[in-house]
Amino acid sequence: MNDRAHEGSLGGRGALTAILLIAFAVSLVGVGWEDGLLNSGGLRAVGQIVAAAIQPQLTLDVLSIGARSTWTTLAYAWAGMTVALVIGLPLGIIGSGTLVRSPWARRWNISFARFALAVFRAIHELVWAWLFVAALGLSPMAGVLALGLPYGGILGRIYAELLQDVPDAPLRALRGAGASEWRVFWFGRLPMALPDMLSYTFYRLECGIRSAAILSFVGLGGLGHNIHISLQDIDYSRMWTFVYFLIALVLVVDLWSSLVRRRVAIEQG
Amino acid sequence: MKTTSPSKISPATSASSPNSSRPAILIDGAGKTYGDVEAVRPISLTIEPGETVALLGPSGSGKTTLLSMMAGELEPSQGSIHLRGKNLADLHPGRELSREVGMIHQQYDLVPNLSSLQNVLAGRLGDWGLLKSVISLVWPQDRQVGLTALEQVGVVDRARVRAGFLSGGEQQRIAVARLLVQDPAIIIADEPVSSLDPARAEEVMGILSESARQAGKTLVASVHSTDVARTYFGRLIGLRNGGREFDLPSHLVTDDQLDALYTLEGLQDE
Ligand SMILES: Nc1ncnc2c1ncn2[C@@H]1O[C@H](COP(=O)(O)OP(=O)(O)O)[C@@H](O)[C@H]1O
Ligand SMILES: [Mg+2]
């Protein structure tokens, strides 16, 4: 199916590029630049923000608020990822269609799970947040669910693909040794897909931290909430303190993920 | 002459052990066609329990096709195949079939990120319950069975190393060990050593045929090297263009016959 793309590529790609460029140009005109995207005070504010970056507020008071809200944001992200795993792992496994042998059952598994995953994924976490806040009020549960549902949809879809794309020869050998599809899954498919699945899950945890910060702008507490308040108070030094906490949090998660991945890569299971 | 494997005695094996009148493999007019290509022309042959048989023939002569049919991985277009008296077509794929026959392929087919030991123990997946299989991922069950098999093929020191990190020769030994743990009555091997250097190939082939002999198993393998075939196998079958050219005890096969098998391209009429 890639053949066609290769054959017709030059003409097709040229046209596509042209269309995208035109669309971009139109969008530039469409944006209301004159409505003060950069207002008169804008440049001065930018200068102040940049200057504040090198002198974040480091009083004990601000640091302890920073530490506590870092914890809150991490907790949201973590709880959200847990919900996402509960949704994404089973639906991803079903959606890979690898547990059943008959083509008919496989097609149904894939269609059902992919449809459910698409529904979760189609709605952005901010929209979910809006829905859940409307339903549950400003509660942590609203934030966790708002994060967990779309992330579950994304995780499940990627898991399904990673589980499908595993090399076939080892699986055939396991079937030859008498293994049922479930055993083939546990002993062949999952171990082969696991490093990539872990890696992607960690990447999503990072995204989850950023999203949790954004959700806290909405009023759910955490780092985003404090950044928001500092901006309202025009206290850029304090804002930077919280931004640095956020950066540090993402870096720590990144470090942790590379440690775990190295373990999975080298150690036998 | 016939001893059971030390690792495991399956009911199917022990039930039919005394009954050596039934051939291990009985092929009755089985053949395979792809469109108008006759990959294997209808062939009938009998292989007795404990025999070691090498298939020889140039590339495209039908060795892989014939072996895959014997292993139940490929359905014949015509004719039938019986393994120890049971029609292959009636054997349930999975546990039932895996008791009768196991196949080693030319390409390495281990699970690269599991340890050698776990790969070897995968030969037991047909017997293990699902729970035991899952537990075994973290905490290998029946370790001793696996270690014994690894020792037999000479790589017990690699038990904890992940299979993907092993050399080609080591990987093929692991595949042999996995088959020993699976413990089928019949072992089929399709050019199991063709991707190894000659010294390594000879070693692995020696291990394979010796293990089969010790456990009283029937071994049918396609082999590249005529020397290896004569050294390690009791019976040689020459294939050409999907048809049988000779079928003899290995000491009766002449050099002329072997030369003719490989070199007389196009000169031979049928
Ligand atoms: N799946 C297939 N579809 C079409 N032709 C095939 C297929 N498998 C094998 N053949 C043909 O059957 C013949 C025998 O192939 P094979 O059994 O692989 O020979 P060998 O293993 O001796 O090299 C060859 O001519 C090959 O091209
Ligand atoms: Mg072949």
- Mean pLDDT per 10-residue section of chain B, whose length is 270 residues: 42 44 92 95 96 95 96 94 94 90 90 94 90 87 92 92 91 93 95 82 88 92 91 95 95 92 62
pLDDT at A34: 60
A55 versus B52: the higher-pLDDT residue is B52
Model pLDDT, residue A37: 56
Question: Which helix (H) or strand (E) is B96 found in, with range?
Answer: helix B95-100
**What's the token pair of residue B46?**
């009998």
ipTM: 0.83
**pLDDT reported for residue A263:** 74
Residue A167 in this model has a pLDDT that exceeds 60: yes
Burial call B218-239: b when 16+ CB within 10 Å, e when fewer: bbbbbbbbbebbbebbbbbbbb
Q: pLDDT exceeding 70 applies to what percent of chain A?
A: 88
Greatest Cα pair distance in chain B: 60
Q: How far is B184 from chain A (nearest CA, A)?
A: 9
Reported as a pLDDT band with limits 50, 70 and 90, residue A91 is very high
Closest CA to B152 of B195, B192, B189, B120: B120
Tell me which residue has tokens 């399709």.
Answer: B190
Give residues with Cβ within 8 angstroms of B233, minimum separation 6.
B52, B53, B54, B209, B219, B221, B223, B250
Helix (H, G, I), strand (E, B) or coil at A60: helix
Q: In chain A, which residue's Cα lies nearest the Cα of B181?
A: A177
pLDDT on residue A112? 94
B113 in reach of chain A (CB within 8 A): yes
Q: Give the model's pLDDT for residue A175.
A: 93
To test the pocket of ligand 1, the residue of B33, B34, B74 to mutate (highest count of ligand atoms within 8 Å of its CB) is B34
Ligand 1 pocket, CB under 6 A: B 34, 37, 39, 57, 59-65
Query: In the prediction, which pLDDT does A109 show?
Result: 92
- Number of domains making up chain B: 1
The span from the CA of A194 to the CA of A264, in Å, is 9
Q: Which residue of A180, A183, A197 to mutate against B (max B Cβ within 10 Å)?
A: A183
- Which residues on A lie below 8 Å from B109 (Cβ)? 169-170, 172-173
The upper half-sphere exposure of residue B144, i.e. CA atoms within 13 Å in the direction of its Cβ, equals 3
How far apart CA B250 and CA B257 sit, in angstroms, is 11
In this predicted structure, the answer to whether residue A3 has a pLDDT above a threshold of 80 is no
Atom number of ligand 1 nearest to Cα B65: 17
pLDDT surpassing 70 at residue A247: yes
Residue B210 domain boundaries: 25-262
Q: How many residues does chain A have?
A: 269
Instruction: Check pLDDT > 60 for residue A261.
Output: yes
Task: Supply the pLDDT for residue B199.
Answer: 83
With the most atoms of ligand 1 within 8 angstroms of its CB, the residue from B33, B37, B237 to mutate is B37
CA-nearest residue to B162 within chain A is A268
Looking at the complex, does the CB of residue B102 fall below 8 Å from at least one CB of chain A? yes
Q: Name the residue with higher pLDDT: B6 or A193.
A: A193
- Has residue A165 got a pLDDT over 90? yes
CB contact residues (below 8 A), chain B span 172-211, against chain A: 175, 178, 182
Is B120 contained in some domain? yes
Q: What is the pLDDT of residue B264?
A: 57
**Distance between start and end Cα atoms, chain B:** 40
Closest C-alpha residue for ligand 1 atom 21: B64
CA distances from B165 to B110, B168, B177 (A): 11, 9, 17
The CATH code of the domain that includes B96 is 3.40.50.300
Residue B34 alpha carbon to ligand 1 centre in Å:
8
Beta-sheet strand order (sheet of B78-83):
B37-47, B25-34, B78-83, B86-87
Say if the Cβ atoms of B126 and A177 lie within 8 Å.
yes
Q: Is B65 within a domain?
A: yes
Tell me which of A218 and A51 has the higher pLDDT: A51
Instruction: Give the alpha-carbon dihedral of B200, B255, B43, B41, to 10 degrees.
Output: 90
A57-268: CATH topology is MetI-like fold (1.10.3720)
> What does the domain layout of chain A look like in residue ranges?
2-37, 57-268
Half-sphere exposure of B134 (CA within 13 A, CB side): 6
User: What pLDDT sits at residue A20?
Assistant: 82
pLDDT of residue A26: 78
Tokens 């995204």 belong to A207
